Structure 1
Amino acid sequence: MAEKIDGMEFEQRHGKARVRVGRVWRSTSGRHSFVEWNISISLLSDCLPAYVHGDNSNIVATDTMKNTVSAAIIKIVEKPWERVDINGHPHNHGFKLGSEKHTTEVIVKKSGSLRVTSGVEGLALLKTTKSGFEGFVRDRYTILPETRERVLATEVTASWRYSFESLFAVPAMPLYFSERYQDVKKVLVHTFFGPPREGVDSPSVQATLYQMARDVLDRFPDVSSIHMKMPNLHFLPVNLSSKDNIIVKFDDDVYLPTDEPHGTIEASLSRIGSKM
């Protein structure tokens, strides 16, 4: 809204941006639904004195807006998390973002030696259950609670080296590397989520990473090594408290997505005698 001041028009709004919310709905059948929202709120209010005279008496604090999502100008952007299919069956609690990239690096020397590395970047995976983290070292600096039930989300970066050491060793098959990329990605995704109905337990991101890498090497003899990065992108359970110490407690179904800072987990797995 425009206001006149000193012969000029002044227009303002204030609010809260990037209020990130994750929400899980759980049905009695075991099927989960999940959304992640990024919410922005703007108020068109009569707070000219705050700008001109430093008088904040008419301002609604942005923290209040964040915690209440008040009726005003509200913009909501939903991330395109989609349910994962495992062998043609929709997964009960597995979701992914379709944003990954296929990477390849090929080194050919005059001697004829060959090095082919393929990979995937930005493979965003999330499951709403079957994940925990317990039994880790605790000391006076530790504030992270142990849990047997949490949302597990990550953005997988993986690169795998093929065993072919010369051009003559590469199979003369059209689309060989493109199809192998799809096959490896499928194994990574299926190992992360487990069977479509019951899923698979994850005691830690480390254990899941190792099993994903191990399954790739067990499945594909032409892959000699694999390097993986899996940051732990946190979805923290939300409870709201007011100045009157009244706590609004959710049923472990509303989460605060936080990807900065995040835990970093990185490892390589190679066949004996192979090179990364």
Structure 2
Amino acid sequence: MAEKAKIIDGLKFEQRHGKQRVRVGRVWKDSTGFCHFVEWSVGISLLSDCNRSYTHDDNSDIVATDTMKNTVYAKAKESKEQITAEDFAILLAKHFTSYYKQVTTAIVKIVEKPWKRVNIDGRPHKHGFELGSEKHVAEAVLSKSGALNLSSSIEGLSLLKTTKSGFEGYVRDQYTLLPETRERMLATELAATWRFHVISSVSLRMPNLHFIPVNLSSIQNPNLVKFADDVYLPTDEPHGSIEASLSRLHSRM
């Protein structure tokens, strides 16, 4: 969703401004002392009618980026009940598009750090957390008319199988050197995105994280390291990349 371009002196002009990487941590505690915690990095971009700040040295329509930062903390404080990253992104976007008449569209992107509750003796700890791997990302694009594009994603979800994977039957030509195999390590760092409202879709990105068999030999010791599905060299450069997406022809939402 983009702002309609302005024409100034026969030239197409587009602009936006905002605040990025506003870090905020929020704790919600119930009457028993059980805590819920999130850590977010919030990015805000505002599309607005403030061309005079560029053409006439007039900042009267500019929302200061420091104000945007402070708004994040104020809205986090106002959220008395636990709230998702998606709902907080929408909350901020609604504020900017409704509070400021000159703002035509607000883009709010939130990256949630993967804090997970610690289990002690098989029971969830009331206020202890550990850092996971994958990140949760939410982005809301809201126009003053109320049109909303919302997407969520997971990034950096590392997955691995130590056996029962193969790669064979692929195209072979004069440049193909890779031997076929029915037994290998399989690993990836999954990124998944799903979109709501206008176009419902799910997209996956699955780069290969390669684990190359290690064989080492010398004249003195020809079997210094003889690979037997056990010792690997981990590498991700260069790596194969697999992407797929699935979307409805007509959204039902």
Q: Which has the higher contact order (CA 8 A, sep 6+)?
A: 1
Hey, which of these two has a bigger chunk of helix by percent? 1
Q: Specify the TM-score bucket, using the shorter chain as the normaliser.
A: 0.3 to 0.5
With normalisation by structure 1, the TM-score equals: 0.42
